[in-house]
Amino acid sequence: MVEALDVHKVYRTGQRPFPALRGVTFTLQPGEFVSVMGRSGSGKSTLLHILGCLDRPTSGQVRLGGMEVSRLPARELPALRRSKIGFVFQHHNLLPSLTALGNVMLPLRYSRISTREAQNRALALLEEVGLADRAGHRPAELSGGEQQRVALARALVNEPELLLADEPTGELDSQTARHIVGVMRRLNRSRGQTFLLVTHDPTVGEAADRVVEMLDGRIVGPKAAVQGGERPAHGLEP
Amino acid sequence: MEILHNLWQRRGRVSLTLLGIVIGVFALVVMGAMAERVNIMLTGATRFLADRIVIGERGGGGLFGSGTLPAGLASDIRQVPGVALVESAVALMLKDDQNFSFGMPDILEGVNVEEVARLSTKAAGPSDFKFAQGGWWQPQEHLKAVVGADIAREYGLRLGSALESRGKTFTVVGILQRMMTGPDKMAFVPIADARAILRDSHPVFRALDVDSLVGSLYAIPALGHNPDQVAQAIQERLPANKVYSPSEARKQIAGFSAVFNLVILGSTMVALLVGGLSIMNTMVVSVSERVREIGLKKALGAGDNDILKEFLLESLVIGLVGGLMGLLAGGILVVSVNHFTAPGGTTIFTVTPRLALGSLGFSALLGVGAGMVPALRAARLDPIEALRDR
- Tell me how far apart the alpha carbons of residues B182 and B105 are, in angstroms, rounded to a whole number: 9
pLDDT at A16: 82
A230 Cα to chain B: minimum distance (Å)? 33
Determine the distance in angstroms separating the CA of B316 from the nearest CA of chain A, rounded to an integer: 19
pLDDT of residue A146: 92
Q: Do A81 and B301 touch (CB under 8 A)?
A: yes
- pLDDT tens-digit readout, B108-121: 989 888 877 776 55
pTM here?
A: 0.74
- Given B301, B302, B387, which is nearest A89 (Cβ)? B387
Q: Which of B9, B301, B384 sits opposite A111 (nearest CB)?
A: B301
Query: With an 8 Å Cβ cutoff, are A110 and B300 in contact?
Result: yes
| B positions 24-43 inside 8 Å of A (CB) | none
Average pLDDT over residues B265-272: 81
Residue B74 near residue B86, CB atoms below 8 Å:
yes
Q: What is the pLDDT of residues B224-251, one digit of tens each?
A: 888 889 999 999 988 888 888 888 888 8
Q: Which of A46, A55, A97, A105 to mutate to test the interface with B (most CBs of B within 10 A)?
A: A97
Calculate mean pLDDT across residues A179-200: 89
Residues in B touching A110 (Cβ below 8 Å)? 297, 300-303, 306
Within 8 A of A107 by CB-CB distance, chain B residues are 300-301
* Cβ–Cβ gap B387/A102 under 8 Å: no
Interface probe, candidates A44, A95, A112, A171, chain B, greatest B C-beta count within 10 A: A95
Confidence of residue A150 (pLDDT cuts 50, 70, 90): very high
Q: Average model confidence (pLDDT) for chain A?
A: 86
> Could you report the per-residue pLDDT of B185-199, keeping only the tens digit for each?
899 999 999 988 888
The answer to whether B296 contacts A95, with C-beta atoms less than 8 Å apart, is yes
**Residue A153, pLDDT above cutoff 90:** yes
ipTM of the assembly? 0.86
Instruction: Tell me the chain A residues in contact with residue B2 when contact means C-beta distances shorter than 8 Å.
Output: 95, 97-98, 102
Partners of A92 on chain B (C-beta within 8 Å) are 292, 296
- Render pLDDT for B208-226 as a digit per residue (tens, 0 to 9): 676 777 778 888 888 888 8
- Percentage of residues of chain B with pLDDT beyond 70: 90
> Please, which pLDDT band fits residue A234 given cuts at 50, 70 and 90?
very low
Hey, of B289, B300, B307, which one would you mutate to test binding to chain A, going by the most A CBs within 10 A of its CB? Answer: B300
Q: Which residues of A touch B7 (CB under 8 A)?
A: none
User: How distant is the Cα of B4 from the closest Cα of chain A, in angstroms?
Assistant: 9
Of A82, A93, A102, the CB nearest to B301: A82
Contact map slice: A 6-65 vs B, CB within 8 A: 49, 52, 54-55
Q: In the predicted model, is pLDDT for residue B125 greater than 70?
A: no
Dump pLDDT digits (tens) for B19-50: 888 988 998 899 888 888 888 878 877 777 77
Percent of chain A at pLDDT > 70 equals 92
Give the span between the Cα atoms of B344 and B95, in whole angstroms. 13
| A107 and chain B in contact, CB less than 8 A | yes
